[in-house]
A and B are shown apart, each in its own frame.
Chain A
Amino acid sequence: MSENKGLNLTLKVWRQKDRHSKGQFKEYKVENISTEASFLEMVDILNEQLINTNDPDGPVAFDHDCREGICGMCSLFINGRAHGPDDAITTCQLHMRKFKDGETITIEPWRSGGFPVIKDLMVDRSAYDKIMQAGGFVSVSTGGVPDANAIPIPKADADEAMDAAACIGCGACAATCKNGSAMLFVSAKVSQLALLPQGKVEAAKRAKAMVAKMDELGFGNCTNTGACELECPKQVSISHIARLNREFLKANIKD
């Protein structure tokens, strides 16, 4: 296959037995990693190695599912950045060609109050699910699929709603935020629905319920540093946070 000599790397990986144990970094060496491998494939190779050598800590636990940048499961703080050194991609879309031979790569789990570490590189992100359950939906009667053009929607609104809907709930925003704030996530979900006629009906209730849940779960207050949008794999804009603030204010003035 490739004539390139593979990469020899040192991996500094966070190992933690469970939610209550104290974790620590462990160093591992991996050799001859193809530059064409994805980052997660490289971790798979490390895990095979750990299984084959009967490593006392066992394979490294990490989240992943689709491996094509759509599910939001893969996380990881790689060399000090959410989803690694590249912009606008998830960890599963990161390739080893972004690293140099002989490099030491630091791999950490998300570290934020709202996302406790469960094991190694895996964190509990169910807080985001709870926020969604609080109001991130539209109540519609089931039935036949309505005609696509039955409700006209201005192109600009549709585009803006689509941009917000790109959020995959990976948690990079809260993981990067110095305030442990989930506002980029919540604002994307509120925006996506508030912009469309189907979502407007419950907009006020939704904004209040989702913000209340976010506060209750202990996420921080956004101070507009903008780090979240720079690390968001889907480049969700902080302009949605302004919309969330507007929606929340409107909802509160109404009652």
Chain B
Amino acid sequence: MKGFFKSSIGKKLIMSISGLFLILFLLFHLCMNAVVLFSECAYNSVCAFLGSNWYAVAGTVILAAGFLVHIVYAFVLTIQNRKARGTDRYDSQNLPKEVEFASKNMLVLGIIIFCGLITHFGQFWAKMMFADLIGCEEAESLSTNGAYWINYYFHECGALSIVLTVVYLIWFAALWLHLNHGFWSAFHTAGLSNKTWIPRLKCIAKWFSTIVCLGFAVIVIYAACGGIKVPQGCCKDKQAVECQQSTQTPCQQESNK
């Protein structure tokens, strides 16, 4: 395998494997989030189960590494490809319309996804796992109350909630496009496709990206419409007690003052 990862195909394989890893993560994340549609309490139990336990922290570190690799190679490959294209451009180029928009704009879509990710991290991860890790007492009572935070950001914050909902929907649209191409492309790069499987993989990619992105969008819209009720003592563990202590949102606390 000497020199394999320096070769063009080797680098592409890294892109493909890291992409597939991120896809698996997305699937897991969606399953976890979808619980909130059925039971806020159950969802909070999931949050509590993960919390800042060692396995969740380890998972986060591995995930961050996955993102880092994917992003670094995205830039390395894109820069190399621009160089390979040369400096002279065609006066006009009419690519056949069959060439997918997403396939030509993977980096831009990736950057949009990354911006969404930063927003998302600031909103949820910082308030939950991170707050727990640094032992911020004020935040601790809310650090595993995922339902509270979803409701807070998408429903309780007035105009900001509307803006956040729209931002998230744009984020999911970019993700949809990225996955629509990325999904089948990753298999192709890994050599796992042929004449029969290209159309099949493209079809699966459409279904997969639609299910994943629609799933996330439904959760956000559901929350924006006020569908999420922050648990009030419906669970019997320590977590429920913490939930009870904090049924007021910071927005409400603000108006109480």
Interface set of A (CB-CB < 8 Å, partner B): 12, 25, 77, 79-81, 106, 108, 111-114, 117, 176-181, 183, 211-212, 214-215, 218-227, 230-231, 237-239, 241-249, 252-253, 255
Contacts and interface: CB of A to CB of B under 8 A. Distances in A.
Nearest to B93: A80
Given A211-B8, A238-B198, A220 B84 contact: yes
Nearest to B8: A221
Given A231-B96, A242-B192, A249-B191, A219 B84 contact: yes
Q: Which of A214, A215, A241, A243 has the most CB of B within 10 A?
A: A215
B98 A230 contact: yes
The 8 A-B residue pairs with the shortest CB-CB distance, nearest first, are A220-B84, A246-B191, A180-B84, A113-B86, A179-B81, A80-B94, A80-B92, A245-B191
Interface in B1-20: 1-2, 4, 7-13
A111 B86 contact: yes
Given A238-B198, A249-B9, A111 B88 contact: yes
Contacts of A180: 81, 84-86
Contacts of B198: 238-239, 242
B206 interface: no
Q: Which of B9, B83, B86, B181 has the most CB of A within 10 A?
A: B9
B84 A237 contact: no
A180 B79 CA distance: 12
Nearest to A212: B7
Contacts of A81: 93-94, 96
**A interface, by DSSP: helix, strand, loop or mixed?**
mixed
A245 B99 contact: no
Given A214-B8, A223-B185, A246-B191, 13 more contacts: A77-B90, A77-B93, A113-B83, A181-B81, A183-B8, A211-B7, A221-B81, A225-B99, A237-B195, A245-B188, A245-B189, A252-B4, A252-B10
B1 A252 contact: yes
A230 B189 contact: no
A80 B1 CA distance: 41
A225 B184 CA distance: 11
Contacts of A243: 191, 194
B84 A242 contact: no
Interface stretch (B37-45, B57-65, B100-108, B243-251): B100-108
Nearest to A222: B12
Contacts of A25: 91
B90 A111 contact: yes
A225 B194 CA distance: 15
Contacts of A114: 84, 86
Contacts of A220: 8, 80-81, 83-85
Nearest to B202: A226
A224 B104 CA distance: 9
